[in-house]
């Protein structure tokens, strides 16, 4: 399987995320006004499609990486998952104790971006440690 | 503990850049750099591939040390 170049991967992700931003700004605000339940569900899920697309792209990139790259991806993903899991437990207890008042939908929306950010930063730090570029 | 190896020496003897060696082994330049600087030990299949490419025995390239 041919490897994904960083440039090709970044272009794909940027294009998909541009579509996501357009959907969130122009399609999402109209969802609440839709009365038909089937159409409402369909429209509500449309912005999730680009996100799923990025996840598939990330998976393809990892599968097409060499053994060191796969190891770095795995460590970064493990660190990101561990951190987000720990934070979710901490915030859950704080909310349950009524110390924090967070809306569930706001918290759920931020899980994926937080996971991506932590994963990206860890991956960058690991890459530098193993003598590679930041990406 | 990481192994010592002669990958850089053999690569330079063949006049290849890290990128060229990476292409021949189907790994990234970063992986070659990490192996040469002793930051990463290759898997057994990759170590055999390296040995085959340089026409040497695996133990003459990689030294696990004491």
- pLDDT tens digits for range A10-59: 888 889 989 988 998 888 888 888 999 999 999 999 999 999 999 999 89
Report if residue B63 sits inside a domain: no
Residue A132 to residue B30, Cβ atoms within 8 A: yes
Task: Give the confidence band of A116 by pLDDT, cuts at 50, 70, 90.
Answer: confident
Report if residue B16 sits inside a domain: yes
The predicted pLDDT at position A129 comes to 87
Report if residue B35 sits inside a domain: yes
pLDDT in tens, B29-44: 999 999 999 999 999 9
Distance from CA of A101 to the nearest CA of B (A): 46
Q: Pick the residue from chain B with its C-alpha nearest to A2.
A: B26
Residue ranges per domain, chain A? 1-64, 66-135
Number of folded domains in chain B? 1
pLDDT in tens, A59-92: 998 999 999 999 999 999 999 999 999 999 998 8
The predicted pLDDT at position A133 comes to 61
Report if residue B61 sits inside a domain: no
Using a CB–CB cutoff of 8 Å, tell me whether A110 touches chain B. Answer: no
Any long-range contacts for A12-18 (C-beta under 8 Å, 24+ apart)? A12/A57, A13/A54, A13/A57, A16/A50, A16/A53, A16/A54, A16/A57, A17/A50, A17/A54
List the domain range (segments joined by +) for residue B48.
4-56
Residue A132 to residue B39, Cβ atoms within 8 A: no
Task: Give the confidence band of B1 by pLDDT, cuts at 50, 70, 90.
Answer: low
- What's the CATH code of the domain at B37? 1.10.260.40
In chain A, alpha helices (H) = 6-22, 37-45, 48-63, 67-96, 104-129
Supply the mean pLDDT for chain A. 87
Query: For residues A70 and A84, what is the distance between their CA atoms, to the nearest angstrom?
Result: 21
Inter-chain CB pairs, A–B, below 8 Å:
38
The predicted pLDDT at position A130 comes to 84
ipTM over 0.95: no
Report if residue B48 sits inside a domain: yes
- Name the nearest CA neighbour of B30 among A72, A80, A74, A118: A72
The predicted pLDDT at position A9 comes to 84
Residue A1 predicted with pLDDT over 60: no
């Amino acid at each position: 399987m041919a490897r994904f170049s960083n440039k090709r991967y970044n272009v794909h992700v940027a294009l998909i995320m541009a579509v996501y931003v357009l959907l969130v700004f122009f399609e999402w605000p109209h969802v609440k006004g839709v009365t038909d339940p089937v159409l409402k569900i369909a429209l509500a899920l449309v912005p999730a499609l680009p996100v799923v697309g990025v996840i598939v792209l990330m998976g393809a990139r990892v599968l097409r990486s060499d053994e060191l790259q796969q190891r770095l991806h795995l460590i970064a993903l493990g660190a990101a998952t561990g951190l987000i899991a720990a934070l979710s437990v901490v915030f859950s207890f704080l909310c349950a104790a009524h110390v924090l008042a967070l809306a569930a939908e706001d918290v759920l929306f931020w899980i994926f971006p937080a996971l991506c950010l932590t994963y990206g930063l860890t991956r960058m730090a690991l890459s530098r440690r193993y003598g590679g570029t930041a990406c | 503990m990481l192994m010592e190896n002669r990958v850089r020496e053999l690569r330079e003897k063949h006049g290849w850049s890290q990128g060229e060696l990476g292409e021949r082994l189907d790994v990234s330049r970063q992986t070659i750099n990490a192996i040469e600087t002793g930051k990463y030990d290759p898997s057994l299949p990759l170590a055999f591939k390296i040995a085959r490419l340089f026409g040497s025995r695996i133990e003459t390239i990689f030294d696990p040390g004491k």
